[in-house]
Structure 1
Amino acid sequence: MMAMAGLAVASALNEEIAPELLPARKRFRDLAIERIMMLESLRIRVTTGQEPRTAIAGIVALAHKIAGSAGSLGYATAGTLAASIDQLSRDQAEVKLPLNELWRQIEPRLIALMDELEALLDE
Structure 2
Amino acid sequence: MNAIDLRPGWQSDHPLAPAERLFRQMAAERLDILSRAWARLDSGQQVREAMFDIHHIAHMIAGTAGSLGHARIGLHAAEVERLSLEDAGREALLHALRPLISGLADLLED
TM range (shorter): 0.7 to 0.9
| Count of residues in Structure 1 that have an aligned counterpart in Structure 2 | 103
Q: Match for residue 107 of structure 1?
A: 94
Unpaired stretches in structure 1, ≥5 consecutive residues: 1-11
Q: Match for residue 4 of structure 2?
A: 14
Amino acid at match of 2:108: L
Q: CA deviation at 1:35?
A: 1.0
CA distance in 2, matches of 1:54, 1:31: 20
**Which is greater in Rg?**
1
1:47 equivalenced with 2:49 (yes/no) = no
CA distance in 2, matches of 1:38, 1:80: 19
Q: Which residue of 51, 60, 63 maps to 1:65? A: 60
Unpaired stretches in structure 2, ≥5 consecutive residues: 6-10
Q: CA deviation at 1:121?
A: 1.5
Q: Match for residue 3 of structure 1?
A: none
Q: Which residue of 22, 25, 31 maps to 1:27? A: 22
Q: CA deviation at 1:33?
A: 1.3
CA RMSD in angstroms comes to 2.0
CA distance in 2, matches of 1:53, 1:65: 19
TM-score of the superposition, structure 2-length normalised?
0.83
TM-score of the superposition, structure 1-length normalised?
0.75
CA distance in 1, matches of 2:86, 2:72: 21
Amino acid at match of 1:83: A
Amino acid at match of 1:114: I
